[in-house]
Amino acid sequence: MVDAPNGLSDHFGLEQEDNHDGTMYDDADLVIDEFESSDENDEFIKSLTKQNLLPTGCCYDDRMKLHANADFGPSPHHPEDPRRIEEIMKIFKKAGLVYTGPDTELSEILKDTPTKYMWRIPARDATRAEICTCHTARHFDWVRGLSNMSTQDLRQLSHSLDQGRASLYVGAMSFEAALLAAGGAIETCKNVVAGRIRNGFAIIRPPGHHAEYDCSMGFCLFNNVPIAATICQREYPEKCRKILILDWDVHHGNGIQNLFYTDPNVLYISLHVYQNGQFYPGKPENPRIPDGGIDQVGEDAGRGKNVNIGWADQGMGDGEYLAAFQKIVMPISQEFNPDLVIISSGFDAAQGDELGGCFVTPSCYAHMTHMLMSLAGGKVAVCLEGGYNLKAISQSALAVARTLMGEPPPQMEQLPRIEKEAAKVLAKVQATHAPYWECMRPGIIDIPESDAGANRLHDVVRGYQRQNLAERFSMVPLFIQREALFKSFENQVLVSAGIQEKKKVLFIIHDPPELVAMPDVIDNTVEPHNAFILDGVASYVEWAYNNGFGVIDANVPHYVTRPEDVDPYIPGANERTLSVQIKELVNYIWDNYLQLYEAEDIFLLGVGNAYLGVKLLLTERHCKDRVTGVVNFVTGNLRPVKSAVDEDLSTWYKKNSLVYVANDHACWSDPDLAKKVGKKRFGGVKRSNQVGLNRMMQEHAGEVHEWITGRLPDSGNTTEDEKMT
């Protein structure tokens, strides 16, 4: 006989009975039957409901620990450790969330403080029919067949399955534990929907969200949450039509996504690490099966009901997750207006979990839970998925449980700025789902393919710059005799007239001007008088022109417009693409123009990400003897200049450069990094007191002009040391 779980559901004092069909029920199961059949208990529940005193439920059963790895190889321990659920239950009891005292006091507790403790929900075996609402009968039979295999066969099977995308282990009791996990999820969700508890937490394993309809994978045998959701929809069609499944496990829940991909009544939102499809579970072998990419939005009637917030890399923390909730999760969920919220609650994004590699704190989990409790009249069911650091999973689960029980989330310290790539991910999710959700449309524009009058603003801006520089300084486009480069940099490289005869040349490699605008808050339109172009480079071109310099102005666009492009939001070029384009450009300009000019003094000016071109020119061409000085303005990556064939290059760069680095740059936040950037390969680094390229260029213009002038021969400085002074 299995010991009855401790808890408030024991208060009826009913002993275990045999159900006469081979299934063992404990007293907690009989309490649920009692609730459903007893008029007295119906009145008790109604009374608690009227007083807003419904408790939080908790589902747990030690028997789920019997699922263990049969492969006792050199490394018998597995991340999906049976102790995961035990540690959560221990911390619940230690924190006083689950009652552990004598039964004699239960009546008074129920009468005086019915919400003081979590009410225990029994975990029972899910039936074949229930599991086959989401899985094939063949798959059910495969899992059931594990119970009849020999230990040797189970070990061999575990060893073979624990490879690649399958990533699974099995044991002699895996089937029995999987039935309890699915049954526990069903009972927790049903009790929430039926109104017998306010909300609930199912401490279950094995997890489920990777299991496909026809196979197990990713530590998962049966997909617990979809089974529970489907049963609730079928048994409570009036109360539970629309369900939100929020999956914050660090891995994408491919199984849940694919089971509901065409279902308009289930909104699936997943926050996970994607890494361009490289992070587990990765891309399916069948390319027609969707993965965890942002562009996978559902099909047919389910379009828009599948929301993937796939982080570009690990390392996400509280700031990124709360931003995702505020910008994407909650607006869409509120517009969807679910009848039930199920949290597919993996805690492997928690700080301390080595598999996840993220930094979400228990406080953040509490705040996310609190936000979700504002939906569906507070009907929230939490079902455990992954999470493999025992301390992190138990503390995170405790924070969620306290919040479910009505405790306010703890005040959080000031959050760090959201990681830039994460902000881009959220912007892309918003743009992707703008066609399906009204709340995603502010900030999103629709450019129809037939609108021949639509031009990308960066092309318009460069056209204005070309005209302005031509009128003021007689600058003209530089012809680039390379087919690929010409298409990319048509009108992007301008030169002043007669540059080949100038003794002084300033070669500027810069990002496009910064655009700032205040859109109308109602219709998202931007009036021209509310938009501005911030072009810090123009004043440097003017100074150089007035001081007798020849000027080459190379504008490096973040994206090259193509006629077939109609997407209103396109991310900028990645580092690799940018590097290839800039490298070919600067080398071409040096080989075919600068190197052939009669200039005695050539200065390089790098601005923004485009200053990568300065590094590439210095490392790709032996040109330092012709370059008199280098000035860079840096807000992004700080790039080292070193060469395997020219050992003196870094030393030369240190002596002959000014590198202004933004005041908020990450290198200043760590003393070790700040010390590192002082090394010669990073150049003459100076910390600017300004933030942003235009402010930096304006602030240091006088210093730069004086520094350049001081390095010219006619300045009176004749030696290298005097030049540096």
Q: What is the pLDDT of residue 474?
A: 85
Q: What is the pLDDT of residue 473?
A: 87
Residue 308: name the closest of 352, 270, 255, 359 by CA. Answer: 270
Say yes or no: 473 and 412 in one domain. no
Say yes or no: 97 and 152 in one domain. yes
Domain boundary among 411, 440, 469: 440
Judged by DSSP in three states, 184 sits in helix
Query: Is 231 inside any structural domain?
Result: yes
Domain at 275, CATH number: 3.40.800.20
Residue 156 Cα to chain centre, angstroms: 37
Query: Is 326 inside any structural domain?
Result: yes
* Cβ–Cβ < 8 Å for 553, 541: yes
Instruction: Point out the residues of the chain with pLDDT beneath 70.
Output: 1-52, 72-77, 443-456, 458, 481-490, 521-524, 559-573, 715-725
Active site residue 210: yes
Task: Spot the catalytic one: 67, 210, 367, 433.
Answer: 210
Domain boundary among 383, 413, 440: 440
The length of the chain in residues reads 725
Residue 395: name the closest of 419, 369, 366, 358 by CA. Answer: 366
Say yes or no: 75 and 204 in one domain. yes
* Cβ–Cβ < 8 Å for 248, 343: yes
Domain at 681, CATH number: 3.40.50.1820
Query: Is 446 inside any structural domain?
Result: no
Query: Is 450 inside any structural domain?
Result: no
Q: Which two tokens stand for residue 477?
A: 């486009």
Say yes or no: 397 and 469 in one domain. no
Burial class from Cβ neighbours inside 10 Å (0-12, 13-18, 19+) for residue 45 reads middle
Helix (H) or strand (E) holding 202: strand 199-202
Say yes or no: 633 and 554 in one domain. yes
Backbone φ and ψ for 157, nearest 5 degrees, come out as -65, -45
Domain boundary among 440, 474, 502: 440
Q: How many Å apart are CA 636 and CA 607, to the nearest integer?
A: 10
Number of domains in the chain: 2
Query: Is 656 inside any structural domain?
Result: yes
Residue 472: name the closest of 456, 507, 496, 441 by CA. Answer: 496
Residue numbers of the domain that contains 580? 457-564+572-710
Q: What is the pLDDT of residue 11?
A: 32
Q: How many Å apart are CA 337 and CA 509, to the nearest integer?
A: 51
Q: What is the pLDDT of residue 20?
A: 31
Q: What is the pLDDT of residue 21?
A: 34
Find all residues with CB under 8 Å of 284, minimum gap 6, and list them.
Answer: 165, 254, 291
Q: What is the pLDDT of residue 573?
A: 65
Say yes or no: 435 and 525 in one domain. no
495 strand-pairing partners: 476, 552
Say yes or no: 635 and 509 in one domain. yes
Q: Which two tokens stand for residue 31?
A: 């309490």
Say yes or no: 187 and 227 in one domain. yes
Q: What is the pLDDT of residue 207?
A: 96
Q: What is the pLDDT of residue 557?
A: 81
Say yes or no: 407 and 545 in one domain. no
Say yes or no: 302 and 253 in one domain. yes
Q: What is the pLDDT of residue 516?
A: 84
- Output the CA–CA distances (angstroms, integers) from residue 233 to 60, 228, 239, 372, 596, in the order listed: 23, 9, 8, 20, 77
Query: Is 221 inside any structural domain?
Result: yes
Q: How many Å apart are CA 293 and CA 338, to the nearest integer?
A: 24
Say yes or no: 386 and 527 in one domain. no
Q: What is the pLDDT of residue 470?
A: 84
Say yes or no: 92 and 133 in one domain. yes
* 520-567: pLDDT as tens digits: 766 667 888 888 888 899 999 999 999 999 999 998 887 665 555 556
CA neighbours closer than 13 Å in the CB half-sphere of residue 36: 10
